[in-house]
Amino acid sequence: MSLRVVGGFILTAALAATAACTSSSPESKPASSTPAPAAAPAPAAPAATSGAPRVYFAEPANGAMVKSPVHVVFASDQFTIAAVPQGEVKEVRANTGHYHLGTDTKCLPVGTAIPKADPWIHFGMGNNTIDMQLTPGPHTLVVQAGDDKHTTITGLCETINITVTGE
């Protein structure tokens, strides 16, 4: 077999694997009454081919001065974000989960079920953006990934501090 044919097989297999991994599953409604907009394309993450999985804020930046409503965008490296499967979840998918946003709180300990109540907003449809009203002043924002059972995962939490201006 020629190198071109072998390369074609590898490319075809890679495309098939990508399509299988990105097939959509039914979306569930967020547990919070706070509306979360439809999923937006994830921002381009820094090029990383190795390293530990992580979730982080693409917007706003840590220390940012922002106006309300605050536009928040999450991103991930080496971790798949997907909608929570519908129905009763008996097993969690490896290296797969969804975002949770905490306001004026801290990262929860590993292995903790993330509450479906204030100060947490669940993004169980796999979405990664929200525009939220915050009062003027300093706020702490936490993005924490949870698995299909909403349980926290080692290393998948980031905290930033922002200041909402009164203008």
Domain at 102, CATH number = 2.60.40.10
Whether residue 18 lies inside any domain: the answer is no
- What tokens does 41 get? 């394309």
Q: How far apart are CA 99 and CA 123, in angstroms?
A: 5
Whether residue 1 lies inside any domain: the answer is no
Whether residue 9 lies inside any domain: the answer is no
Whether residue 55 lies inside any domain: the answer is yes
Q: What pLDDT is recorded for position 166?
A: 83
Q: Is the omega angle on the peptide bond into residue 69 within 30 degrees of 0, that is, cis?
A: yes
For residue 166, the cross-strand partners are none
Range of the domain at 66: 50-167
Whether residue 153 lies inside any domain: the answer is yes
Q: What pLDDT is recorded for position 106?
A: 97
Q: How far apart are CA 74 and CA 98, in angstroms?
A: 10
- CA 51, 83, 130 angle in degrees (round to 5)? 85
Q: What pLDDT is recorded for position 53?
A: 96
Quote the number of domains for the chain: 1
148: number of CA atoms within 13 Å, CB side? Answer: 18
Place of tokens 């930046």: 61
Q: What pLDDT is recorded for position 16?
A: 35
113 secondary structure, DSSP code: B
Whether residue 156 lies inside any domain: the answer is yes
Q: What pLDDT is recorded for position 50?
A: 60
Whether residue 164 lies inside any domain: the answer is yes
Contact present, 109 and 133 (Cβ < 8 Å): no
Whether residue 25 lies inside any domain: the answer is no
Q: Low-confidence residues of the chain, pLDDT below 70? A: 1-50, 167
Residue 165, C-beta contacts closer than 8 angstroms, at least 6 positions apart:
65, 66, 67, 136
